[in-house]
Amino acid sequence: MTRLDLLASCALPLALFAGTAAAQNLQDRAVAPPAPETPAAAPAPAADEDQVNFSAGALEYDYEADIVTATSDVRMFRAGQRLRADKVVWNRKTGKVVASGNIAVTNPEGDTAYGDSIELTDSLKGGMVDNMLVVLERGGRLAAERGTRAEGGTISLERAAYTACSVVDSEGCPKEPTWKVTAVRVTYRPDRERVYYTGAQVHLFGLPSIPLPKFSHPVGDDNASGLLAPTARYDRINGFEVATPYLFRLAPNRKLTVTPHVYTAVLPMLEANYEHLNELGAFSVTGYATSSRRSDDLSAGFDSSTEKAFRGYLDGAGRLQFDDKWSLSGSLRLASDRTFLRRYDISRVDRLRTTVALERIDRDSYFSLAGWATQTLRVGERQGLQPVALPEIDYRRRMNGGLLGGAFQFQLNTLALGRHAGQDTQRAFASVRWDLRRLTNWGQEVTFTAFARADAYNTNDTAATAIASYRGLEGFQSRGIGAVAVDVRWPFVGAFGSGTQRITPRLQIVASPKIENLDLPNEDARAIDLEDSNLFALNRFAGYDRWEDSSRATYGLEWNIDLPGFSLATNIGQSYRLNDRPTILPSGTGLSDRFSDIVGRTSVRFRDFVSLTHRYRLDKGGLAVRRNEVDATVGSRSTYVLVGYLRLNRDIDDLEDLQDREEIRVGGRVQFARFWSAFASGIVDLTDRSDDVFSLSDGFDPIRHRFGIQYEDDCLTLGATWRHDYRTTGDVRSGSSVLLTLALKNLGR
């Protein structure tokens, strides 16, 4: 009864579909594919492996004509070949087998062919099929008015169609696939796991769109050589762009993808990507190459010619795992000039970093031998001032069960930084840290910490560093660091409505003697900013080159609420210097006075619909907001709004790393139909001259925004995105661009 009701509900779609797909019926057939033989159901094994075993509800034998006729749910088996039909006539003289009525034939690979009638050889390997449908084991299906199945399993079809899409809707009724390929001739080679077409055309939403006179694609899971989905784009600088990748399958573990980018306004660009996987690991290298004019109107510090010149980019990454402890990893990022990546819309990063690292990691130790180099893409920055680190050696070891049951951590580190036209620095240090954690009878968590470190530095050409507090003294310098600390947390847990809440006061005392910080260079601790993440840190400077040498008390409060479908976590804290020793921390960092600024964070989550994080820093004097940062997501996976806002109002005028900023980022997506959605995003620079004297923004300066629409179902992605950029940098001009995307999912699966 359920089957009859389903067919009745689909009657109208079936009637509409039948008139358009009679010759290439991609729909499922009523008959189920023949099941494999089972020991209980199969006849006794034949001595001859070519012997055909069969079963049927009725059997007739014409002795004179030597013809066997089997009817009523006929099953035939031979060496993995399986057939199911209502009726089978077997002429033993000619070896011809004719099956009719609800036919399904399955080969050893699992591909199933359906038809109204089929003419086979007595080995079940080949024959002619009327109204043929082939459902491939690896996904996808082929249909034709008539097809031929050869002895080797090759299937040839005339006036055929292929699709990898679903042919039924969510209610199980037949529907036209989102895309299909029709062709005059189609050949399926199971030995190659590939489908070949002659005179083909791609149909989208039932309409013919893309002609493909001759092509092929794989049906297996492995990569195979061939064309990949093209992309199309338009912008005012390069004109209309078409990129058509071609994949070369060099081996099961190696492939090369070559993508020509053809433009209407400039010369073509060639992109190539090589990927290699072996028993030790994998690596990938991508290169771009073209020739175009570079602009000479960059604001400062960069000479370039307006003549045509080679332009390109190299991007590589890889990792080798030698055993469970040793590994080698690296990355390569190199560009011919500062605007190439943005000009051709490859990336919008402002620095490129090349790295290499040899690492050993086990349960209690870590070793790293690393190096890196940086290429700046920022206008106005000198490349000669960018550091090259070679090498950096870092070794750490952890030992438990030491003094009073505490844990020891040892570290040895050395680093050499060189610059072509700037300061050179070499650094080495050795440190030891001891931590002891205990729980009192009242439930307090108490952690005792002791830390000691010895440093040695050597610097040259310090005058090349513009900011005096970053230079250090010329030549060799040494330093000793020491600190002790005690940290107490006292959590109180109780019921709150239908959930729980936890209130945790926290107090930390840190003591450290005075240290001559400014005698040493500052290479890695420049962008200091007080926030909740480093409020209770032993050293609130980032990096190793600066140490906070004050004795201080830090206090704060954490509050957590957990309810069904709702959670809230908030913390707030401040520190107080226990002495009036002068500090090297600049005014505006929130740490320059005895009382620090007040910092905190609040995170709220309501089911999977609302997620909000707010970070802030309040001035200790008048509670002016020095840092205000909000990240919020509201909505479901298909329809949502993203908002990000950052305001830094620190009033630090003498350090380039700590300028004030204000920015807002918005984005969202709306699913307005089952498969259709629209999306948009934008970034606006709200900084003005009162925040940063070097800023060119007027307080509301859009950086870029975009808007797009997309269709995505089980086997097709189709979309268009419009983007507008407002910044002009050299040959990267402000203006609009349009990107068109088309991806036929599962093609070749």
Q: How far is it, in rounded angstroms, from Cα 51 to Cα 42?
A: 13
Check residue 656 and report its DSSP letter.
G
Q: Is 46 left (phi over 0), alpha (psi -120 to 50) or beta?
A: beta
Query: Which residue is associated with the tokens 């690979």?
Result: 109
Q: What is the pLDDT of residues 305-332, one digit of tens each?
A: 556 789 999 999 999 999 999 999 999 9
Q: Which residues pair with 129 in a beta bridge?
A: 118, 147
Amino acid at 489: R
Q: How far is it, in rounded angstroms, from Cα 330 to Cα 373?
A: 12
Q: How far is it, in rounded angstroms, from Cα 108 to Cα 79?
A: 8
Q: How far is it, in rounded angstroms, from Cα 553 to Cα 550?
A: 10
Look at residue 424 in the predicted model and tell me its pLDDT.
95
**Residue ranges of the chain whose pLDDT lies below 70:** 1-23, 37-50, 121-126, 220-223, 295-307, 653-657, 690-697, 746-749
Q: Give how far Cα 231 sits from Cα of 250, 258, 712, Å.
A: 24, 14, 16
Q: Which residues pair with 738 in a beta bridge?
A: 234, 722
Contact 247, 257 (CB under 8 A): yes
Rounded to 5°, the CA angle 571-577-582 comes to 135
Residue 602 CA from chain centroid, whole number: 28
Q: 314: buried, middle or exposed (CB in 10 Å: 19+, 13-18, 0-12)?
A: middle
Contact 292, 311 (CB under 8 A): yes
Reference 704, options 735, 746, 740, 732; nearest CA is: 735
Contact 420, 383 (CB under 8 A): yes
Look at residue 289 in the predicted model and tell me its pLDDT.
97
**In 236-381, where do the E strands start and end?**
239-243, 246-251, 254-263, 269-277, 281-293, 308-321, 326-335, 351-361, 365-376
Q: How far is it, in rounded angstroms, from Cα 707 to Cα 692?
A: 30
Look at residue 46 in the predicted model and tell me its pLDDT.
46
Q: 497: buried, middle or exposed (CB in 10 Å: 19+, 13-18, 0-12)?
A: exposed
Q: How far is it, in rounded angstroms, from Cα 335 to Cα 341?
A: 8
Check residue 600 and report its DSSP letter.
E
Record the tokens describing residue 504, joined without a space: 């945790």
Contact 363, 397 (CB under 8 A): no
Query: Residue length, the chain?
Result: 749
Helix axes 2-9, 11-18, angle to 10 degrees: 60
Look at residue 584 in the predicted model and tell me its pLDDT.
83
Amino acid at 264: T
Q: How far is it, in rounded angstroms, from Cα 651 to Cα 310?
A: 44
Q: 77: buried, middle or exposed (CB in 10 Å: 19+, 13-18, 0-12)?
A: buried
**Sign of the CA dihedral 530, 536, 538, 542?**
negative
For the chain, the first-to-last Cα distance in angstroms comes to 35
**CB within 8 Å of 573: residues ≥ 6 apart:** 506, 532, 535, 536, 554, 555, 556, 557, 598, 599, 600
CATH class of 53-221: mainly beta
Domain boundaries, the chain: 53-221
In 20-41, which positions are buried (b, 16+ CB within 10 angstroms) versus exposed (e)?
ebeebbbbebebebbeeeeeee
Q: What is the pLDDT of residues 648-698, one digit of tens each?
A: 887 776 666 677 889 999 999 999 998 999 999 999 988 877 666 566 667
Contact 406, 398 (CB under 8 A): no
CB-facing half-sphere around the CA of 446: CA atoms within 13 A: 9
Q: How far is it, in rounded angstroms, from Cα 125 to Cα 148?
A: 11
Query: Which residue is associated with the tokens 């093209």?
Result: 230
Alpha-helix runs per DSSP H in 498-643: none
Q: 219: buried, middle or exposed (CB in 10 Å: 19+, 13-18, 0-12)?
A: buried
Record the tokens describing residue 18, joined without a space: 């039948």
Rounded to 5°, the CA angle 272-278-281 comes to 85
Q: Are strands 254-263 and 351-361 parallel, antiparallel or unpaired?
A: unpaired
**In 169-238, where do the E strands start and end?**
179-189, 194-204, 207-218, 226-227, 231-235
Q: How far is it, in rounded angstroms, from Cα 281 to Cα 111?
A: 35
**CB within 8 Å of 46: residues ≥ 6 apart:** 53
In 162-171, which positions are buried (b, 16+ CB within 10 angstroms) versus exposed (e)?
bbbbebeeee
Contact 304, 298 (CB under 8 A): yes
What is the dihedral angle through the alpha carbons of 199, 215, 346, 702, rounded to the nearest 10 degrees? 30
Look at residue 297 in the predicted model and tell me its pLDDT.
40
Record the tokens describing residue 417, joined without a space: 């930084």
Look at residue 257 in the predicted model and tell me its pLDDT.
95
Q: Which residues pair with 257 in a beta bridge?
A: 247, 273
Is cis: bond before 34, omega within 30 of 0?
A: no
Neighbouring C-beta atoms of residue 235, cutoff 10 Å: 21
Q: 552: buried, middle or exposed (CB in 10 Å: 19+, 13-18, 0-12)?
A: buried
Q: Is 566 left (phi over 0), alpha (psi -120 to 50) or beta?
A: beta
Q: How far is it, in rounded angstroms, from Cα 225 to Cα 210?
A: 20
Instruction: Report residue 368: phi and psi, to 5°.
Output: -140, 130
Q: How far is it, in rounded angstroms, from Cα 660 to Cα 653?
A: 9
